[in-house]
Amino acid sequence: MKFPALLLLALLSTGTPAQTAPTPTQVPTQIHDEPLTLPPVLYPDEARQARIEGSVPLQVNVDSTGHVTSVQALGGPTLLRQAAIDAYSRATYPPLITNGRPSPAIITTTVVFSLKELPPDTDLLVDRAFEPLHARCQQASLDRTPDALDLCRQAVQTSERFSSTTQLEVRATALNDLVLLLIVDGKRSTHLPEAGVYANQAVDLVTTSGRSMPHTQAVAIAYITRAEVRSLAGNLKGSAADCAEAEEVLATLLADQAKDVKDSNRAGNLRVQLRDTYLLHAIVLQRAGKNKDAQSFRDRAALQ
């Protein structure tokens, strides 16, 4: 990434007492328009994803010691301005010497944002490592091979290297795969606390400030998986609440799917998933002694 300066300095006169007025023989003004160390500029995720490029001209105010006191963007794409300001706010310049004395300066420079000059996307590199590992985890889970648990743990660890706001559903899926392995393992009581931690992480990934992401199957599965873990742990109230969340997501997806008659297979899968969630809800309610409510959910399941 390049940060060419426009080589323009406007000096701020500080005034000099008459008895120390400079003479023509004094050291000439030294002009420095580049920082001592070029500050790193982070390309904003939102701008990168939107494929926004451009130049941001800056006005950098520097005091007599060379420290930046303020930075103002003079133009450029809105999504790029703050990143440029943040970078040059941390810059340090050589003190500007004019008439032999340090003085403040106003420096104009330009930050150029170019997608072509970006290093490989970190998330892309993580994805290249994650995808084959996750595929091996899922296949090993189906085959019940001895290394399945280790592979799925590795997939989860690799998924944690994604940026915090990206690949949320993918990361939740990796967590859910691991949780399901943990709770079907023969040492269920040993693995249950670990499964609970991962199940909570999966739900956290698909929710923001307590509100779900747009309804997707990944959101429903995160709630269903945690409902199963909570049921095994004896948290019947929490399990029933998770079932209700999953049912609301699946019912909404089914209603939307009804508008697309071409994809009947997906609608069938959603109905099966909703039926199974109703049955899980019924089991949880029956264990809680709510037999009448449990029967109501069995009846709903029968209609799917």
Q: Give 168-220 pLDDT, tens digit per residue.
A: 888 999 999 999 999 886 556 688 899 999 999 999 988 864 445 567 888 99
Rounded Cα–Cα distance for residues 41 and 64 (Å): 25
pTM recorded for the entire structure:
0.60
By residue range, what is the domain housing residue 66? 5-12+25-117
238 shares its domain with 103: no
Determine how many CB atoms are found less than 10 A away from the CB of residue 226: 29
Rounded Cα–Cα distance for residues 261 and 173 (Å): 27
Domain total of the chain = 2
- Residue 18, domain member (yes or no): no
Rounded Cα–Cα distance for residues 215 and 219 (Å): 6
280 Cβ neighbours under 8 A, 6+ residues apart: 224, 227, 228, 231, 239, 243
296 shares its domain with 189: yes
* Range 115-130 average pLDDT: 77
257 shares its domain with 270: yes
